[in-house]
Amino acid sequence: MVLDKNLKINLAKLKDLRYGENPHQASAFYVEDGNSGFEQLWGIELSHNNIGDANHAWNLVCEFSAPTVAIIKHANPSGITSRDDLAEAFNAAYAADNISAFGGIIAVNRPPTMAMIEAMHGKFFELLVAPDYTLEVLERLKRRSAKMRVVKAEKPPKLLEFTRAFGGYLIQTSDDVEEDSSKWKIVNGGKPSKRVLADLEFAWKVVKHVKSNAIVIVRDVSMLGMGTGQPNRVNSVHLAMKQAGVKTKGAVLASDAFFPFPDNVKLAAKAGISTIIQPGGSINDDKVIAEAKKHGITMVFTGVRHFKH
């Protein structure tokens, strides 16, 4: 896709916000066509950070067709799980990192159930975002807290992404490339089982929403640990392993970009990781694959990178 030679944007201020990322920064929310894409149904006024994190959380859960609950803190998921039962999904997502979940944002790609709302009881969250709410659930949320923001959101549209850089703008299309797991390349090991493939597909969708360098560990379509924002990939692997703890044996590991060195695979092997999914494309791919073979780890190349900065 080639972007337009000239790009004109007409923005209208929808509302001023209390402040930006920090109290000394001014902030406002602007819209292009009068549609904000969300509606606040309850709670205290939305902040700059609330809107940003809610957007990240909402885009993440909308990746999945299965019922999915995610908890977001500072634009990264502290937990995310797919389950037919939303209460079970919430409990598993919360258990992945119940410390970081404090004051986080919950996103669910289905109308939340009463059982899920009851599972949230006694835990502090800033905001809940979902596609809709039953009257019963909404009234229960209102009775429970006058402060927690309750947001109803529309399906995310495909929009250009803008970043200020020097005196201009960096503009790109969204990272919504269509991927087909049947076209992934198994470079070591045998064909993944149905269960492992489900975990790989889940992990690959999640890792694209974690800030680079991104590592995600998954088992039973639930994130166990993640490493994010490190200047080298092996540190992200360390962080993901630490969060996942003893649950890593037999789990899968996803990396948003290729492994530059075999050290990442060595760490994964020590933790008992069964399968690694990554884009491939490093000049050291042969060494990385050889390390996976040495430890009996299945390795899958997707051919697609998902950096998020």
Count the residues in the chain. 309
Q: What is the pLDDT of residue 149?
A: 98
> Which DSSP letter does residue 222 get?
B
Identify which of 231, 200, 226, 225 has the alpha carbon closest to the alpha carbon of residue 213. Answer: 231
The pLDDT value recorded for residue 2 is 85
Give me the average pLDDT of each 10-residue run along the chain (309 residues).
Answer: 88 95 96 92 97 96 97 96 98 97 97 98 97 98 96 93 94 92 96 97 97 97 96 96 95 97 96 98 97 98 95
Q: Supply the CATH classification number for the domain 181-301.
A: 3.40.140.20
Pairing of strands 38-42, 27-31: unpaired
Distant-in-sequence, close-in-space partners of 14: CB < 8 Å, separation ≥ 6: 28, 29, 30, 31, 36
CA angle 295, 299, 303 (to 5 degrees): 150
User: Which residues are bridge partners to 125 per DSSP?
Assistant: 104
pLDDT at 178: 87
Fold of 12-153: Cytidine Deaminase; domain 2 (3.40.140)
The whole-number pLDDT of residue 128 equals 98
Check if the beta carbon of residue 169 is closer than 8 Å to that of residue 277: no
Check residue 34 and give its pLDDT.
83
- Do the domains at 12-153 and 181-301 have one common CATH topology? yes
pLDDT digits (tens, 9 = 90+) for 144-159: 999 999 999 999 988 8
C-alpha of 46 from chain center? 21
249 phi, psi to nearest 5 deg: -60, 120
H or E stretch including 52? Answer: helix 48-61
Confidence at residue 1, expressed as pLDDT on a 0 to 100 scale: 75
Q: Which three-class secondary structure state does DSSP give residue 162?
A: strand
Q: What is the value of pTM for the model shown?
A: 0.95
Domains of the chain by residue range: 12-153, 181-301
